Every structure is written in structure tokens, then in C-alpha cells.
A and B are shown apart, each in its own frame.
Chain A
Amino acid sequence: NAGVTQTPKFQVLKTGQSMTLQCAQDMNHEYMSWYRQDPGMGLRLIHYSVGAGITDQGEVPNGYNVSRSTTEDFPLRLLSAAPSQTSVYFCASSPWGMEDTEAFFGQGTRLTVV
């Protein structure tokens, strides 16, 4: 059971480049989300999805796009990378009702935009 898999683990981009951070889970969870972690800021929600075909914005959505075509995958797209998007990105998944469990996190993607 792989859990939540994020790729790549590290990435360096030039300003203006685009890229997609991949997130896949094999637990059949309805709920998936993306967070970014910056020093002293905790984890801030970028986008989330409550099921295939449904996405919504979080606290810091600007500069990012998401889509959810399958239950398993929830990619995060940076359309035109900026230095302010240098961060560590975490993907999480959980069952829709969180009563009996917790959110499972991927290992993180460390992104540097130069």
C-alpha cells in the first residue's frame, strides 16, 4: 500500500516556466488537497477536491490550477512560476468523513524558482 505519492521530490524552475506536481493515492479517498509550507507560516491550503470532477480554492490559490479527473490523481499546475512560489508542497488525502481517520500526507515536493 503506497499511500500518497508525490513526484518529483525536488525541482528547480526558472521564472516563467510551467510545471505540474503530481499526486496519487491508492486508498480510494474522496478528499484530496494541496498545501504549501513556508518558514514560519505553517501549512496553507492551496486547492482541494471532495471528489472526481469537483475542486475548490483554498487560502492561497493564485498562480495554481488543479483538476480531478480520477479519484486517484490530483495534479497541481504552476502556470508561470514565480520566485514567491518557492516552497515545500504537500499533497494530502482522506476519506470524505474524517471521523475515523486522519489526513495522509505525501513526502512533499521541494520547489525552488530562480
Chain B
Amino acid sequence: AQKVTQAQTEISVVEKEDVTLDCVYETRDTTYYLFWYKQPPSGELVFLIRRNSFDEQNEISGRYSWNFQKSTSSFNFTITASQVVDSAVYFCALSALRSGNTPLVFGKGTRLSVIA
């Protein structure tokens, strides 16, 4: 079975602080994909990143960075110098590759509030 755990339900930070959102996953598959999506107050789901299980390189995109560690089954997301516009619910998700891709399995999300 596949499972994604986001233990942090809500996080509140002051603007310009750094914040890390945790994601721990479970799967028996050797080939899989990990995702992060952002859901702003307007409600749509915005794709942030996809990472496959064979690529453990960390990735940085502007103020966003992702740390993938297979040894701890974690795919954590850090926002540097947070801004009010980062306030949203963030979802981590997992899809495995078997005969084809399995549907995305989502964590319960972390609500991030950035206070000015």
C-alpha cells in the first residue's frame, strides 16, 4: 500500500522566516514519483515539482527547495524568506510505476500561514 504522511497540520511563520514542510512516504515499489502541489485560498491545485525515485539530487527553484532522501523516505519542502503570498495548503503526493502509473496518493496537507 502507498501512503503519504504530512505530520504538520498547520504552520504559522512571520514573513521572511524560512519554513520546512515535512513529507514522509511509504511504498514497496522501486520506481515511483513524488510531487508537491500548492492550493492557495482561491482553491485551485498548482503543481510545484515532480521527482522520480532514481534522482536524489536536491532541487532549488528560486525561494523553493526540495530535499529527497530515500534512506528516510522523505521529500521535504523548504521555503526560504517566506512571503505572505506563500500562504496556502501544501500537499505532498506519491505515484508508483507498475504496469502503468498508479493514481496519485495525497497526504492530508499542511496549511501554511505567513504573517506580515
**Chain A positions near chain B (C-beta within 8 angstroms):** 31, 33, 35, 40-45, 48, 50, 58, 88, 90, 92, 94, 96-99, 101-105, 107-108
Contacts and interface: CB of A to CB of B under 8 A. Distances in A.
Interface string B66-106: 00000000000000000000000001010101001101111
Contacts of A90: 45
Contacts of A94: 101
Given A102-B35, A105-B45, A108-B44, A50 B100 contact: yes
Contact of B43 (A92, A96, A107): A107
A91 to B, nearest CB: 11
Interface in B40-82: 43-45, 47, 50, 52
A28 to B, nearest CB: 16
B109 A92 contact: no
B44 A105 contact: yes
A103 B104 contact: yes
B104 A108 contact: no
B35 A33 contact: no
Given A98-B33, A99-B33, A103-B47, 12 more contacts: A31-B101, A31-B103, A40-B9, A42-B91, A42-B106, A96-B101, A98-B95, A99-B52, A104-B47, A105-B44, A107-B44, A108-B43
Contacts of A97: 97, 100-101
Contacts, number: 57
Interface in B6-50: 6, 9, 33, 35, 43-45, 47, 50
Nearest to A101: B50
A79 B109 CA distance: 29
Given A42-B109, A43-B91, A108-B43, A92 B104 contact: yes
18 contacts: A31-B100, A31-B101, A40-B108, A41-B108, A42-B6, A42-B91, A42-B107, A43-B91, A58-B103, A88-B43, A92-B104, A94-B101, A97-B100, A98-B97, A102-B47, A103-B35, A107-B43, A107-B44
Nearest to B42: A107
Contacts of B52: 99
